[in-house]
Structure formats: C-alpha cells, structure tokens
Amino acid sequence: MSIKTAVIVGAGMAGLTAALSLARHGISSHIFEQAPQLGEVGAGLQMSPNASRILRQLGVLEELEQHWFEPDHIRLVSGVSLKSLASIPAGTFARERWGAPYGVVHRATLQQALLTAVLRNPLCRLDLGHRIETAAADQMLADMPGSPDLLVGADGAWSRLRARIPGSPSVAFSGNIAWRFTIPGDQAPAFLDRHSVTAFLGPRTHLVCYPLKEIGGFNIVAIAAGISPGETFLAEGTTAQRAGLAGQFSGWNREIRDLLDLAERPNLWPLYQARPGRWQNGRDTVLIGDAAHAMMPFAAQGAAMAIEDAFELSGFVATQPLPQALAAYESVRQARAARVRNRGAFNKFAYHARGPIRLGRDLVLSLRSPQSLAKDLDWLYGYRAKG
C-alpha cells in the first residue's frame, strides 16, 4: 500500500465512491462537504453497466436494484414526427452482453445508497458544513492527525481544489442549459414509453424521458441553448426563460410542446465544460469527477465517469508509490474521458441535426440493427475499471 490516509473534498457521487473504493484497500479517508446536509439536486440519472459493475463491487448495487428501473430499450425518436428512428436493447440484454445492468434511478437514491455505505464503513469519516478553500488546504492537512497522504478534489465543476494543481483545467459555460423536471405517472401522455429510455431528437435541441420507479412518474430533461444563472444547480427558470425554451421547441410535435407545459417548477442546470489540463500535482493532490472533466451530458456518462475515476484512482494509489500512482491515474483516465467526450460531441451533432443532415441521420439509423448499435457501445458499457 502506497498511502494510508486521504482527505476527500466533496461528498457527491465522486467523493463518496472514492471513500468506499479506498476503504476496499484498507485506506482510511476523511470527507469534507460544504453543505450542512446532503440532498442531491436534480432528478433522475442513467446508470450504465460500466458504472453499475463498480457499484456491485462496492456492495451498493443490491440496494439500488430495489429502487431503480431497468429499461427494455434505449430509443431514439423524432421530436417532430414521433417516429422511432433506432433502438438499443437494454434490460436482460445489457446484463448478458456487458456483464452488468443498465438502470435509471433518482439521484437522491444513489447518493443515499453511497452515503449509507460510507457511514457504515469504519475507515470512512464524513464532516458536513466545511468549505475547504485552496488557501486553507495546506494548513488543514498539516493540522490533521496523522498527516494525510492524499488530497482528493471531488468538489465539482467549480472546484476550488484545482488551484493546487499548476495547469489544471479551467471551465467555461457551454451555452447550453439542461431543464430538469418530473411529472406524475397519471399526467404522462400516452406517447411516452413506460418501459424505455427515450431521446427525442430535434433541430438544435433534444429531450430525454424515462420512468422513475421511486416517484411513479417520469424524469424529463430538455437540452437547449440558454444563459447561465451562475454557479448553481438550484435555479428555477423565469417566465422569460421558459418562454425562450418553448420557442426553441416551436417546430416540434404538439404533444411534446404540451409535455413541456406540464413542468411546474423545472430546475435550470447550466452546462459547463472543462478544458484540457493537469489533474494532479505529482505530489499530494488529485482531481476526480466534474472537478477534472466536467462535460456535456450527450453520452449520459457524467455520474459513470465520476464513479470510474474514484474506483481506478484507489487501485493506483493502493499499489504504486504516490507520484507514479497519480501520473498513471491521470494518463489512463484522461484518455478514457477524452473518448467519452468525443462520443458526446458526436451525439450532440447527430441529435441536434437539421436540414439535409437530419434526413441523412434518419436514413442511416433506419439501416442499423439494434445489435449493431449495441456493438458500437461495447467500448463504453463493457469497460471494466481496475480498482
């Protein structure tokens, strides 16, 4: 074992997974979270097999499976005509092909499952209501009993710990907003598939819908251009902003426009992206999750990448001297994140296509079998993180 103790800043999915992953190797961790209490904002998320496989190894998946929903398919549908364009099998197919399930779950459910596991683990300690700024990090490490070996920045897209790493990534607003809301099952229109994850594609925008077992309703995410409300995921759209959203969907099917009208108090999430940069300082500090590689959600891999980061980081620091471990982590994970980011960029191009490109996209998708589309995802969903 190269290290014995770690400090983790941030108790989101990345930070909690890091603590559990380190504990598997006998490494103790102390998590500091600025919020006075944990409450995951947003609504649903997609948990693909590359991440659920890790959650199984951490002993968290069994709890999740009691609450989540495993879709039969991942469908691509025209937002204008409601015509099905393509479908990728999930459900039993995902378990058999990729060796782990594909589920959709409320963010709060995943965070609670991770939190419960952390609180039960004697090697993990959590302190809430502690904001760790860069200037205070050195003193905090010096003052802590045992002088922790590693500082893990799991503090999200607007990370303060980045400043400890020369040449670390900067983040910039993408110009896009994710509007997130849920609707009760009895209000859901008939065209929504009760058994699948569905992405409705349209010019410059798209909409993702899937059922959430915990609420007996649907999770809805609309991606469109917008203005950032700043460093927050708790903003509610103003009347003018909602009118702007409606305008961007003006050419869509009437039923989808009516669906957007059902949103009573949608959360407005600004989508930020991290530029290339260093993820570790070669000595004692490393970034994971959005702190390292905040990216657009077009591959539905934000949570999965954070979970992979945490798990693989633990494997490196448990088996190699710390400087080599951090360098190896950075090399492996940057290559992986870059490939996922490129896939997301391709999806954005395809999902938001218009004019002749949209017609070509629809034709190509109509010629692809579900199995061939699934094969294209083997590198992503079949990835086996080494922890």
Model pLDDT for residues 304-351, shown as the tens digit of each residue = 999 999 999 999 999 999 999 999 999 999 999 999 999 999 999 999
The pTM score is: 0.94
- pLDDT, residue 265, reads 80
- pLDDT, residue 381, reads 98
Mean per-residue pLDDT for 232-246? 80
Most confidently modeled of 27-36, 140-149, 175-184, 377-386?
377-386
Query: In terms of Cα–Cα distance, which of 225, 215, 222 is closest to 199?
Result: 222
C-alpha 145/C-alpha 384 separation (Å) is 36
Question: In angstroms, how far is the first alpha carbon of the chain from the final one?
Answer: 13
Confidence of residue 33 (pLDDT cuts 50, 70, 90): confident
Q: In terms of pLDDT, which residue wins out, 382 or 131?
A: 382
Number of H helices, E strands in the chain: 14, 15
Say yes or no to pLDDT of 259 above 70.
Answer: yes
**DSSP class of 123:** T
pLDDT in tens, 278-304: 999 999 999 999 999 999 999 999 999
- Structural domains in the chain, sorted by start: 5-69+101-171+273-347 (3.50.50.60)
By CB atoms closer than 10 A (0-12, 13-18, 19+), residue 173 is: middle
**381 included as an active-site residue:** no
- pLDDT, residue 136, reads 60
* Secondary structure (3-state) at 241: helix
Q: In terms of pLDDT, which residue wins out, 73 or 241?
A: 73
Confidence of residue 268 (pLDDT cuts 50, 70, 90): confident
Q: What is the 3-state secondary structure (H, E, C) of 312-329?
A: HHHHHHHHCCHHHHHHHH
In sign, the C-alpha dihedral spanning 352, 357, 358, 360 is: negative
- pLDDT, residue 147, reads 78
Catalytic choice (102, 210, 329, 383): 210
- pLDDT, residue 156, reads 92
Lowest mean pLDDT among 6-10, 70-74, 226-230: 226-230
Confidence of residue 128 (pLDDT cuts 50, 70, 90): confident
**pLDDT, mean over the chain:** 91
